[in-house]
Amino acid sequence: MIASMWRGHVVSIHVAREASAPMDTLAEARAVPGRGLEGDRYFLGTGFYSNRPGVGGREITLIETETLDALATTLNIKLPAVESRRNIATSGAPLNHLVDREFWVGEVRLLGTRLCEPCMHLEQLTRLQGVLSGLVHRGGLRARILNEGVIRAGDAIRPA
């Protein structure tokens, strides 16, 4: 069982209006159960994988800034959080350990559903050789949104 003594926070929030479009950084975003973040491609049904929802869906995705820092340090791959194609960049939250667990991001309760493994689409968009292999098993977390609310940059992330 994961210890309840960790506490992270939201570093940044990102959405894209359609598949392959650049991600925009927002100060806050409304999370809607069954849909995702308002204004995001998956909320709008215009995402690259919208017609293939897969296990765990695509309501919201998170990635650790610690992983992005490690990519830069160990592989010399500089992937800014906004280019990771994930909705929420976090710090201090053990995302890999939150699969099948509920947790809070500010006022919004999420359920981690599965790891967000990288795909060739990410490597094609970023044109960063090795980013795919560098993010295997540490590309973030997919989650379901359990209650509607606003997520803000700086919000606490904590166990439920």
Predicted pLDDT of residue 45: 75
- Residue 53: pLDDT band (50, 70, 90) is low
Mean pLDDT score, 145-155? 98
For residue 117, which of 86, 88, 92 has the smallest C-alpha distance? 86
Count of structural domains within the chain: 1
Q: Has residue 116 been placed in a domain?
A: yes
Given a contact cutoff of 8 angstroms between Cβ atoms, the answer to whether 155 and 11 are in contact is: no
pLDDT tens for 59-74 read: 999 999 999 999 889 8
Residue 158 tokens read as: 């904590």
Q: Has residue 98 been placed in a domain?
A: yes
How far is residue 136's CA from residue 97's CA, in Å, rounded to a whole number?
15
pTM of the model: 0.89
- Residue 5: pLDDT band (50, 70, 90) is confident
Given a contact cutoff of 8 angstroms between Cβ atoms, the answer to whether 31 and 152 are in contact is: no
Phi, psi torsion values for 144, nearest 5 degrees: -95, 145
Predicted pLDDT of residue 1: 45
- Residue 49: pLDDT band (50, 70, 90) is low
pLDDT tens for 13-37 read: 999 988 888 899 999 999 999 999 9
Q: Has residue 3 been placed in a domain?
A: no
Q: Has residue 2 been placed in a domain?
A: no
CATH number of the structural domain spanning residue 85: 2.40.33.20
160 pLDDT above the threshold of 80 = yes
Q: Has residue 121 been placed in a domain?
A: yes
3 pLDDT above the threshold of 60 = no
Q: Has residue 1 been placed in a domain?
A: no
3-state SS, the chain, equals: CCCCCCCEEEEEEEECCCCCCCCEEECEEEEECCCEECCCHHHHCCCCCCCCCCCCCCCEEEEEHHHHHHHHHHHCCCCCHHHCCCCEEEECCCHHHHECCEEEECCEEEEEEEECCCCHHHHHHHCCCCHHHHCCCCCCEEEEECCCEEEECCCEEEEC
- Give the domain extent around 72: 8-159
By DSSP bridging, strand 8-15 and strand 24-26 are antiparallel
> What is the Cα Rg of the chain in Å?
14
Q: Has residue 73 been placed in a domain?
A: yes
